[in-house]
Structure 1
Amino acid sequence: MIRDRLYVHGGGRRGADAWPHVLDPHARFVSFAAGASIVDQGDALARELTPGTLVFAHSIGAVPVALAARRSSVAGLVLIEPALYDLARGHEAIERHIGIVTEARARASAGDIRGFWAILRPLMFGGPFDDARWHEEQPLAARWASTNLPWGHGVRDRMLDGVPALVVTGGWNEEYEVIADRLAARGARRAVLAGAEHRPQDLPGFTGLVAEFEASLAVS
């Protein structure tokens, strides 16, 4: 029976705020320090993991989890829309995303945050750049211009071989579906839970998927 559940947030809300539907009073919630690198996050996680830990990771949170899991023994992983882009390099959708973000980051590095946002906003948030909203969105643009990128960290699919894993996607974005398919090809359980886009963990059906997965861990 799983008694230790560790929840790792993605790129937005941190700590328990990122998991508003988790009711387990014994759950542990990670809250990475602002500005912490992926390597630092992975090191911090490695100190938190035990053979009895079931790790939940959302989006870019799956990257330090993958780095930590290769050094630690855990009960299993629940990866929700994992941003493990390094696992699917070469796929058209993955390379398109990386290319657009790289172009946008180059603008930011040159001091052109407005130009950065004009490229990144349609990709990440939908809708074109709106000059009338620039003053309101400028702080968000500045944060995204310096946030960690989920690729280039040496994550390889073999790192998770032998670790029981459930991968849940929202069925709305080709990039996450491709990544999930690569993990499924290495033995992960695969589920699509449509209706909440990037946050399928907020849907009622998510609890049942996790319960089934945990039951499989008890059997094995």
Structure 2
Amino acid sequence: MTKTRIVFVHGIDGYGAAAWPAQHRLAGRYDCLFLKRSGFDAVEPPAATDFAADARIVIDALGTGGHVVAHAQGAIAAVMAAVERPELVRSLTLLEPSLLSMTAELPATTAYREHLEPLYARRDQLGDIEFTVEFNRLTASMTSTANGRATALAVPRTTPAESAARTAARVRLQVPVWEAPLHIVPGVPTLVLTGGWEPLYEEIAEYLAGTGARHAVTRGGHRPQDSEPGAELLEAFIRETGASGPGVGAHN
């Protein structure tokens, strides 16, 4: 019997299977594809964000259909793919999604954008390391206290083979997330998981809940999928929606 497909779309803190340590266990029951978005590669040079190319990567990976799980910036590609091809998406699980262009007028999103826009305005005048250090400084207040430790959101959890210079080059090349061309996903069961630690992500999650998504708060900070409760919620949602075909209406 053919296994149900799950497509995993990473954020900026790692890519491929390395970005999903707690989800490896699903590979025995599902056909799991751990993607690499455009510009994320161990050999090819880092490249600027290409929202359309990333959405196409997700669509191509879905094949005849499956579930999509996306973290942070990866949620942009997941949502764009679901808007373009909703019939392929059985369910959408968004983990602390960076969908700032959807909540552009809301207070936490506005504050975040105003905080970072001056840095992006002079990005071309800065070197990779210089930009990344400043980016980390500006976002230093956005920390996760998962497992009792404070972890700066901006510091990527990259694979060990990558140098600091390569990581910094990738960070500087990322297009600001508030520029993503996003629309509401029509009729796809959606779960949003947040860590309950940062108003920006809670604001985005509540906005999505208002459009029909289910919102759950669990431990794990910016990576709720790494905690056991978060991983279990993710898996339960996929089991629940697995019996229904793609394109079924959203859950409330």
Given the superposition, is the C-alpha separation of residues 95 and 2 from structure 1 closer, same or farther in structure 2, using an over 3 Å criterion? farther
Please state which structure has a larger fraction of its residues in helix. 1
- 1:139-218 → structure 2 map (5 Å cutoff): 140-157=167-184, 160-194=185-219, 196-217=220-241, 218=243
Structure 2 runs not aligned, ≥5 long: 40-46, 143-162
Pairs aligned (count): 209
Structure 1 runs not aligned, ≥5 long: 128-135
Q: Which residue pairs with 1:131 in the alignment?
A: none
Q: Which residue pairs with 1:133 in the alignment?
A: none
Contact kept, 8 Å, 1:107 with 1:116, in 2: the verdict is: no
Distance in structure 2 (CA, Å) of the matches to 1:139 and 1:19: 21
Q: Which residue pairs with 2:156 in the alignment?
A: none
Distance in structure 2 (CA, Å) of the matches to 1:15 and 1:118: 25
| AA aligned opposite 1:183 | L
Distance in structure 1 (CA, Å) of the matches to 2:92 and 2:100: 17
Flag the structure with more relative contact order, 1 or 2, with Cα contacts below 8 A and sequence separation at least 6.
2
Percent of matched pairs sharing the same residue = 29
Are residue 85 (structure 1) and residue 112 (structure 2) matched? no
Distance in structure 2 (CA, Å) of the matches to 1:143 and 1:207: 28
TM-score by length of 1: 0.84
TM-score by length of 2: 0.74
- 1:1-220 → structure 2 map (5 Å cutoff): 3-22=4-23, 23-25=25-27, 26-34=31-39, 35=47, 36-50=49-63, 52-72=65-85, 73=87, 74-111=89-126, 116-117=131-132, 119-126=134-141, 140-157=167-184, 160-194=185-219, 196-217=220-241, 218=243
Distance in structure 1 (CA, Å) of the matches to 2:195 and 2:187: 25
Secondary structure of 1:47's counterpart equals: helix
Kindly state the Cα deviation for residue 89 of structure 1 after the two structures are TM-superposed.
0.7
